[in-house]
Structure 1
Amino acid sequence: MATQRICFAQVSDVHLMPETGCRCWWMSDSPRHQLEAAVAHLNQVPDLHFVVFTGDLVDQADPQSFELFQEILAQLRVPYYLSLGNHDIDTLGREGRFNREQFIRWCQRQFPLPLAPTGYVDYSLSPLPGIRLIALDASLGQFPLPQGVLRPSQLHWLGEHLQAVPEEWLILLIHQPPFISPTHMDAVLFRKYRLRSEQAAALHTLLADHGRVVAVLSGHLHVPRVYVQDGIPYLTAPPLVGPVSALRVFELDVNPRRGILRYHWVHLPEPGPRPLWHGLVMGVRRDRWGQIPLRAKGARSLPAVAQ
């Protein structure tokens, strides 16, 4: 069986804002500088195929920051794809903030956006043969409520769509982490900052039935985490804006039956002093690099590889 090698990167929680914008004390002094540094680094990654951004592209849902994001990303040498974060839209109709329709139109200027018929920013596309990229909109839209939600229409569409692409390996983007079990300590600590438990369980069931999942990629927590449940890797990204500034690079070796997903952080230079909880967010070894065996449904499991 021929093995396909793919390299891609995840960037999350950029939080671009006007230079006069109000920043939290733990944020970078210049989100723009951090995004420019990320693009410069990504342009040097050998054989990079594409980049995904898992939400909170901007901080205040303002058009000026979205335009700046697009201007900076024009320098990126590979395709990129976007998912929606809770800071990216405001559905209350307040002047000077993007709603969903504006966000969709803005995305369509940058990459093909085959929207799902759900009424939300859900889409599916194939960036490379055999690879399926799906983004789900879990934002409540009342700026910037943190908890995520998936509606019945979204889960129904996803279930039907996965049946139509049974042979493709799936990368799922969703800003709010879909923690699977409330027994996870993080599910308790971040209960207001994750997908609702019953919807996370329903999502997990659909992915397990599909049986070919490369990774479920999220952001939102500003704390990196790696979980594997029933062979499905769930990874929350380190944030670009702080309290650490980092991105993840993935290397995927995959064939029709199994694969290996390797990942590591790229820690970018951070202007200004580090906040007190910088060390806590830096993560342990398994969060910063590692590799996860993948298998198609019905294929024999590979042994876990020591990190």
Structure 2
Amino acid sequence: MKFIFLSDTHFGANPMGFQQQKGYPEQLKELLGLLENKIKDYGDIDFILHSGDIADSASVENITGAVELFGLSVPVYLCLGNHDVTAENSLDLWRKYGSCFFADGNPDFSIVKDNVFIHVMPTHWETTPFFWATCQDAHFLPEQIERVTKLIDSNPDKIHIICTHSPVLGIPEEQTGFDTKYHYPGDEFSKGITALLEKYPGVKCVLSGHNHVNSHVKENGVHYITASSFSEVPFEFKIIEITDEKISMQTVSLASEVSFKAVYNFDKTLVQGRAKDRMFSGN
């Protein structure tokens, strides 16, 4: 299995409210055109996995616009992020106008290819599922955990990957230089998920977005990966390849190929990460 992983495009934003580097969501048409060229050059990409905030807010206009923009030559799968569910009827809107991003028409789904299961599990934030206003209480619903653990239990010889929007771990201090972990989701979510995964050694990787930062931490045999925003300079995506023997990741920038002037903040290079946050190959 070989796929492109990206996050936080925030289609419809003008400007992006939260950004680590300067965001250019108004240039997504060009950026996705460049991405399509890369896909054709590579020739072996199975699909694109977007870990959330494909849109800046939940509306018919944003959802249909995202569907049109992401009409690429390979399938595009989406894990809904908090910005994707800003309306109380967000789930209805996505099922009606954006279900093409879900493997089976539902926002919780699994992508199965070769020896790999990728379980897409949208993070929930408020007491109302599939709705976000202001709360950052990251959590999963019991039925989400039940669905995925049943699939893991019934396929113990497969490689299992989880994709959700919220990071499970914070950005480590050695990457940021800060005194504490950056963009930490809180103990209940972080420790709850890491404890759960200790029971399921078949889970090899967790893919997330939300923090707009490239990071990679391996803990108890699990690779925890987050991606920078595709709409922010230097317009990066990841290529992830999974075989029976190993998981490989590399980070690719489109900055040198854009036709517009993009301004990079060199005081915030932590966003692009260290070498290990951008590339690795191992079990």
Which of the five TM-score ranges fits, normalised by the shorter chain? Answer: 0.7 to 0.9
- In 2, the alpha carbon distance for the partners of 1:217 and 1:23 equals 22
**CA shift for structure 1 position 66:** 1.8
- In 1, the alpha carbon distance for the partners of 2:95 and 2:174 equals 34
Are 2:127 and 1:130 aligned?
A: no
Partner of 2:11: 16
Q: Note the alpha carbon deviations across 1:218-272, whole angstroms, 9 max, x for none.
A: 0111111001111111100121011431000012221xxxx21111111012542
Local SS of the residue matching 2:55: coil
61 and 277 in structure 1: CA distance in 2 versus 1, 3 angstrom threshold = farther
Given candidates 208, 211, 225, the residue that maps to 2:201 is: 211
234 and 35 in structure 1: CA distance in 2 versus 1, 3 angstrom threshold = same
**CA shift for structure 1 position 274:** 1.9
The percentage of counterpart residues that share the same residue type is 21
Are 2:83 and 1:90 aligned?
A: no
* Residues paired across the two proteins, number: 267
- In 1, the alpha carbon distance for the partners of 2:159 and 2:83 equals 29
- 2:95 and 2:105 in contact (8 A); partners too: no
Please give the TM-score of this superposition, normalised by the length of structure 1: 0.77
- 1:123 and 1:136 in contact (8 A); partners too: yes
- 2:209 and 2:228 in contact (8 A); partners too: yes
- In 2, the alpha carbon distance for the partners of 1:212 and 1:106 equals 34
Point out 4+ residue stretches in structure 1 off by more than 6 angstroms. 180-187
Please give the TM-score of this superposition, normalised by the length of structure 2: 0.83
**CA shift for structure 1 position 130:** 2.1
Partner of 2:159: 169
- The 5 Å alignment of 1:1-307 reads 6-17=1-12, 21-24=14-17, 26-28=22-24, 30-74=27-71, 76-91=72-87, 93=88, 99-113=90-104, 115=106, 121-126=107-112, 128-140=113-125, 141-143=131-133, 145-179=135-169, 188-191=181-184, 194=185, 196-254=186-244, 259-269=245-255, 271=260, 272-275=262-265, 277-293=267-283
Local SS of the residue matching 1:109: helix
Gaps of 5+ in 2: 126-130
**CA shift for structure 1 position 143:** 3.1
Amino acid at match of 2:124: S
33 and 61 in structure 1: CA distance in 2 versus 1, 3 angstrom threshold = farther
Gaps of 5+ in 1: 1-5, 116-120, 294-307
- 2:138 and 2:189 in contact (8 A); partners too: no
287 and 182 in structure 1: CA distance in 2 versus 1, 3 angstrom threshold = closer
User: In proportion to residue count, which structure has more helix?
Assistant: 2
Partner of 1:304: none
Cα RMSD (Å) of the superposition? Answer: 2.7
